[in-house]
Amino acid sequence: MTRLMYYEWYKAFGGFKWLIIVVILIIKAVFTYQSLDVSVDFSIPIYREYISELSEMSQSKAEKFILSENERINSVLGGYTEMESAYSSGKLSLEEYKAYIKIYHDAKSKASAFNAVYQKHEQLSMLSNENRIYFYDLEWYTFGEYMGLDFFAIFLIMIFTVPIFCREHSLNTHHLNMVCKNGRTKLHITKLMLGFISGLVLGLLAYSIDFAIFGLRYGFEYSDMPIQAVMGYSHNADNVSVLGMFAAMSVSKVLWCGCLALMICGICALLRNNIISVIMCAALLFFPMQVLKLNENSPSWLYSISILSGLSGSKENIDILTPLINTAIWIVINLLVTATVYTKRRE
């Protein structure tokens, strides 16, 4: 079977295809992390400024600074109506009012960023003393966000897995294969294994390249901090470091990639047409995602079967069990499909 697997691999990935995959993934990763822009609702430069100031302070000094800054901003913003009426009634001169307005705008522009800093302070206060370090975490936060719905990984897996089954019919070699001793069930199982392994390898490549490019760009500073210190992960119950968290997430996602590949194999084995298989696979991936977006109360098992939740970004706890269960489900489904294709369905 190993030899047969080699030929099947050569059919699917022979020549320069692996190179193309790697190049596409590198370009995508470089493009993604070129300027790590996060979708947050506060000013990043101001946040960075605060964090760099706090990182140079001791814990007690930092705490004092945060509390005093909080009070200052609140009092400036809260005093607007009063200052306005004071100016209207002549209690305040134009110069004084202008000076206040300048302070007001400054405070207003800093308010949302400081709010994020304040939340970080509360996050860190729940950790042990040695972990209460203020560090710029938006890079790790964004890395987690970008690890979500990875369309490139899904797309590559789809494009390279579909031909594993559909090529035989498009090239009209299926007759020659089916009359051979090992040309039915054994060949089918070999293709399934190849599909699964390819999904795992493509996923591994995608996330490894992401890690590598991210590391080259930003380094892995503070990767040993607890994950709860990173914005958005404060409710995470896993006792794991930042690097450990993302590594575990990658493992989970690589398993999901394998599961996705199995799903695609099952569909292709039934449909046996390149374009129609791509359509059905894309529909099975896309529609549940839409249903989820429109109705968040929909049953999640629907999405775990279509493996989208596995490929969505998640700030919840590490979950290796669900992809394993889904992989097992899809293996069973594929075995049923194998039986169907070769016993019930004939030309």
Q: Is 213 in the site for another protein (CB under 8 A)?
A: no
- Here the tokens at position 199 are 């999904």
Q: Is 270 in the site for another protein (CB under 8 A)?
A: no
CA dihedral 304, 305, 310, 315 (to 10 degrees): 0
Q: Is 340 in the site for another protein (CB under 8 A)?
A: no
What is the DSSP code string of 104-153? HHHHHHHHHHHHHHHHHHHHHHTS-GGG------HHHHHHHHHTSS-HHH
Of the ranges 37-45, 80-88, 125-133, 333-341, which one interacts with another protein (CB under 8 A)? 37-45
Q: Is 67 in the site for another protein (CB under 8 A)?
A: no
Q: Is 299 in the site for another protein (CB under 8 A)?
A: no
E-state strands within the chain: none
Nearer to another protein, 12 or 83 (CB): 12
Of the ranges 59-67, 81-89, 101-109, 299-307, which one interacts with another protein (CB under 8 A)? 101-109
Q: Is 72 in the site for another protein (CB under 8 A)?
A: no
Distance between the two ends of the chain, CA-based, in angstroms?
26
**65-74: Cβ within 8 A, 24+ apart:** 66/117, 66/118, 66/121, 69/114, 70/114, 70/118, 72/107, 73/107, 73/110, 73/111, 73/114
Which residue in the set 125, 175, 220, 340 belongs to the binding site for another protein (CB under 8 A)?
A: 175
Q: Give the whole-angstrom CA distance, residue 24 versus residue 266.
A: 26
Of the ranges 183-191, 225-233, 307-315, 317-325, which one interacts with another protein (CB under 8 A)? 183-191
- Here the tokens at position 36 are 């790590």
Which residue in the set 60, 81, 128, 290 belongs to the binding site for another protein (CB under 8 A)?
A: 290
How many residues bind another protein (CB under 8 A)? The answer is 58
Q: Which residues contact 310 (CB under 8 A, 6 or more apart)?
A: 252, 253, 255, 256, 259, 304, 322, 323, 326
Q: Give the whole-angstrom CA distance, residue 28 versus residue 64.
A: 43
Nearer to another protein, 36 or 249 (CB): 36
Q: Is 153 in the site for another protein (CB under 8 A)?
A: no
Nearer to another protein, 49 or 63 (CB): 49
Q: Give the whole-angstrom CA distance, residue 111 versus residue 62.
A: 18
Nearer to another protein, 97 or 155 (CB): 155
Q: Is 180 in the site for another protein (CB under 8 A)?
A: yes
Q: Is 58 in the site for another protein (CB under 8 A)?
A: no
Interacting residue ranges for another protein, rule: CB under 8 A = 3-4, 7, 10-11, 14-15, 24, 31, 35, 37, 43, 45-46, 49, 105-106, 109-110, 151-152, 155, 159, 162-163, 170-173, 175-184, 187, 273-276, 278-280, 282-283, 286-287, 290-291, 293-295, 346-347
